[in-house]
Chain A
Amino acid sequence: MKLLFSIVTSAAVLVSGSAFADSSDTKVALVPGGPHPYFAAWERAGQDAVKDFGLGKADYKVPAEWDLSQQNELIESLVGKGYNAVLVFPGDAVGTNKILGELDDAGIPTAALAGCVEQPTKAKMCFGTDTGHSAYLGTKQLIDAMGGKGKIAHFTGFLVDPNTTLRIKAVEKAVAEAGGGVEIIQVIADIDAYEPADEKINAFMAAQGGEVDGIVTTAWVPAVVAAQALTNMGDKRIKMVGIDHDEVVLTAIKDGFVHGTMLQNPYGQGYIGSYAMDKIRGGCTFKADAPWKATAQTDQFIDSGTVFVDSSDVDTYVDAMRGISLEILKTFEDDFLDC
């Protein structure tokens, strides 16, 4: 809550002096993959975008379950209800494409938010985090913290999620680049629920806690549980790099049990994403020579900001995020759009 609040107040700075006053008929739906705390900032981001950019609507709409079909159903009902732009966290990097294509056919612009869909796609852009790259950077940070050598464990989410495979490969890549000093001793996957994550991560700590030097987590739940486990053990020897901004993880960073976390920028995603959708509905198109970045999944990627945060800047990362958001917004129209 605190976090959300500070992001919100920072938003005022973003838009001070903005010139977006005329109201448009753009109705943006911000659709996450399912109920999850990560996306909570989108709700406020949408509301602020309406206020600041004069959108018709920008509503945060959550599928009742983490389920691709449920998400599709929700999106379809939203379109039926008159929403004419959709920002979606893809329920599946491949499976979400079909519905985005159909929305495009119906004249509704869409974009992938927070995570990407794989190309070929009709999504106008992917604005968010390159999941693979984030895992890669996190691992790099971990290896640095370990002094370039040691044994690493990797905890991640559902195997059926293509992102999980990307993350496993990214971690392997970072380790390979570190030369022979670093070794992955175990990958534990399929722990996207708290109880099994608690069981398996603690079992790992019990069995290999003495051997392992570093832990990288690339999904929300494993990050929370692993941070909690290290805190409980009072272990500061094992270095850990987590993901996202769960309070448990942030507190553990402050207390020195976790080295750092790979933060994303959910508020900026929702805020700038809504803005971009309005622009596109207003007739803008993406430039052919826009400074896209390329990822393993798409070459129409715009980084919403992935920041590594450790104990030195855990209290101030909100400012860092704000800076990034400002930066992106400032040049967004000039860099990416033809209006």
Chain B
Amino acid sequence: MNKKIPNFIYTNQFGLLCLVLIFTLIFSTSTDGFTSRFNIFALSRVIAIDIMIGLAMMVVILTGGLNLALGAIGVCAAMFGGWCMEVLGIPIIPSILLMLGMGSFLGWINGIITVKTGVHSFVVTLATMSIYFGFMTMLTEAEAFRRLPELFTDFGSAKLFNKYVSPLLLVSVATCFALFYLFRFTDIGRKLIAAGANPEAAELSGISVNRMFIYCHMLSGFLGALAAILLTTRIGAAIPSMAGQLGMDWLLPAFLAPVIGGTLLSGGKLSVFGTMLGAVLVTLLTNGLYLLDVGEFWIRFFLGIILLLAVLLDRTREYFTLKSVIVS
């Protein structure tokens, strides 16, 4: 309790922070343009969206599950919002609320089915992914909504802090703090974690595990919709392909950030700021590799190698800290 500071050195977040700093140093010395204003601004915007996607997946991983339908939910929310703003002419704020509601609703469906059937959410969301996305393309006929209010789309291009930072990043960081507060300082957040860690024990301790799992899926849908809102302001239109076929383009950043950030795949342990740093690291690497001229076709290869090294490094860290704990 009294050793909070030295403990931080043993955490996953500290390791990530070191990696982020190291790579920042490497890239800023060995590439031109990494530290340019344009690049940093662009990075901040990509990071913002990846953080949000990572958080959205994280809250379902908390239950020991996965949400493959995340991208599909995001696109559905974005298209719904586009329809609200462009066709119905609903003002921005209510539209945003409706989009968030849409995301939560689709997440709720995932949650309900998962809880009621007791089937792994991987399978359930595999199915709903197709269904949500299918309905979306059917209803929109793949037509984009591009006449969105300017105020809305300008947000995605706005530049803050001497034009270095996108306001999108502020939204994501604020969301991180909100989630951190939720999981660390509220009864409901603690219950979500407990339910994910050991459903049987949590249930017998008076926690309604099913409800908690549904909340997690709803929260995932909510954050997915939030990510979609950020992406829509960034693209300037609500387009059906914004997350790729079936929304699957979101899945990789969605898995990478929490997994690198130290969220336990079996559930019950998460790290909000780890996820944030995970997203930062992955985006940084992609950006740096593009700048390094390794040959674009090899980028995926190097990204894979570095990811592998990152998780292995983390495992080594755990091994050594575990040892040192036993010794002390």
Contact = CB atoms under 8 A, between A and B. Distances in A.
Touching chains A and B, CB distance < 8 Å: yes
Interface of A: 35, 61-70, 72-74, 76-82, 91-95, 97-98, 101-102, 105-106, 118, 158-162, 164-165, 190, 192
Contact of B242 (A35, A92, A102, A105): A92
A161 B142 CA distance: 7
Contacts of B303: 64
B249 A67 contact: yes
A65 B32 contact: no
B296 A95 contact: no
A102 B84 CA distance: 26
Given A77-B287, A78-B290, A97 B237 contact: yes
B142 A162 contact: yes
A160 B245 contact: yes
B296 A73 contact: no
Interface stretch (B36-44, B57-65, B96-104): B36-44
A73 B288 CA distance: 11
Given A106-B38, A158-B245, A94 B142 contact: no
A98 B290 contact: no
Contact of A69 (B33, B46, B156, B300): B46
Question: What is the predominant secondary structure among interface residues of chain A facing chain B?
Answer: loop
Contact of B235 (A35, A65, A73, A98): A98
A118 B146 contact: yes
A159 B137 contact: yes
Given A70-B249, A159-B137, A192-B245, 10 more contacts: A64-B300, A65-B300, A80-B36, A80-B291, A82-B32, A82-B33, A105-B157, A159-B240, A162-B241, A190-B245
A165 B143 contact: yes
A322 to B, nearest CB: 28
Interface string B125-147: 00000000000010001111010
Contacts of B217: none
A92 B291 CA distance: 24
Interface in B27-75: 31-34, 36, 38-39, 42-43, 46, 49
Contacts of A165: 141-143
B234 A160 contact: no
Nearest to B235: A95
B185 interface: no
Nearest to A83: B33
A164 B142 contact: yes
Nearest to B138: A159
Contact of A94 (B32, B237, B283): B237
Contacts of A76: 38-39, 42-43, 46, 287
